[in-house]
Amino acid sequence: MGEHMKGALNGSTYVPNLDIVSHDRQRIEIVAEYRGVYTINVFRAFANDFPPAQEIAKVEVHSQNSFEQLKEKVEQQTGIPKCSQRLEFEGCIMLDNYILGRERVFQGCTVVLRVMTGITYIFKAVGGVTVEVDQSLSTVLGRIAANISEDVSMLRFVFTKTSGAVAANARAWLPDRTQLFKAKDVVGSVAENGLGRLVNGDVIQVYRKHLKRAGGQEQ
């Protein structure tokens, strides 16, 4: 093979010991980028990937559209506010300023959408978590407990502000939504418990349970 190469490169300027590509030079890569209009699929995914993702829209886009522009198109078709959308492609979260073509999102590709919300909690200070609206509320309370380095079983919670309607299954476990409750008693998702209609519009107050003494015994 090497002899054939030498035979092919034996002109007057041929230098047999000169590397064709110098190792101390940077390699230049030329990438062809498609530019045009095409259609992509948008599937909504759910917490813990159950139930399976469902197609909610087919969106016509341009390769130079940003993901923020894609969110606007999705909102127009589905009504899901763009501020509540988290878009993913091939397992990676896509930021608003990313460009579809540069991320290789082309004709027929599928973008995954998760509906998110922010919940504010108040303990010794104000904190917050960003969660999927269909995630179990008890799981979210566990995250809050971890954030404040507390045992969730020793905490009590109360809904200070909720932005959405409460579903029947959630109303059943806590008819009076102004009462304190334990994480282990919670039934339903974030959305079913009236949270998530407005991003960062919901507040949960957190208290630590105080042990009482009766006859010298802790209860």
Q: Which residues of the chain have pLDDT under 50?
A: 1-8, 216, 218-219
Asked whether residue 153 is domain-assigned, the answer is yes
Q: What CATH code is carried by the domain that includes residue 57?
A: 3.10.20.90
Listed residues 78, 99, 116: the one ending a domain: 116
Q: What pLDDT is recorded for position 219?
A: 42
Q: What pLDDT is recorded for position 48?
A: 86
Residue of 77, 90, 186 whose CA lies nearest to 141 = 186
3-class DSSP state of 146: helix
**HSE-CB of 29 using CA atoms within 13 angstroms:** 2
The model's pLDDT over 3-57, given as tens digits with 9 standing for 90+, comes to: 444 444 555 555 555 555 555 566 766 666 678 999 999 999 999 888 899 999 9
Going by C-beta distance under 8 Å and a sequence separation of 6 or more, which residues neighbour residue 122? 160, 203, 204, 205, 206
CA–CA gap between residue 112 and residue 175 (Å, rounded): 36
Going by C-beta distance under 8 Å and a sequence separation of 6 or more, which residues neighbour residue 133? 84, 115, 116, 117, 189, 190, 191, 195, 196
Q: Are strands 37-44 and 155-161 parallel, antiparallel or unpaired?
A: unpaired
Listed residues 73, 94, 116: the one ending a domain: 116
Listed residues 57, 81, 116: the one ending a domain: 116
Q: What pLDDT is recorded for position 15?
A: 55
Tell me, yes or no, whether 103 and 124 share the same domain: no
- Domain extent at residue 151: 117-208
Reading the block at residue 11, the tokens are 């002109």
Asked whether residue 24 is domain-assigned, the answer is no
Q: What pLDDT is recorded for position 210?
A: 78
Could you say which DSSP state residue 189 is in?
B
Q: How many domains does the chain have?
A: 2
Q: 169 φ, ψ to 5°?
A: -65, -30
CA–CA gap between residue 18 and residue 3 (Å, rounded): 15
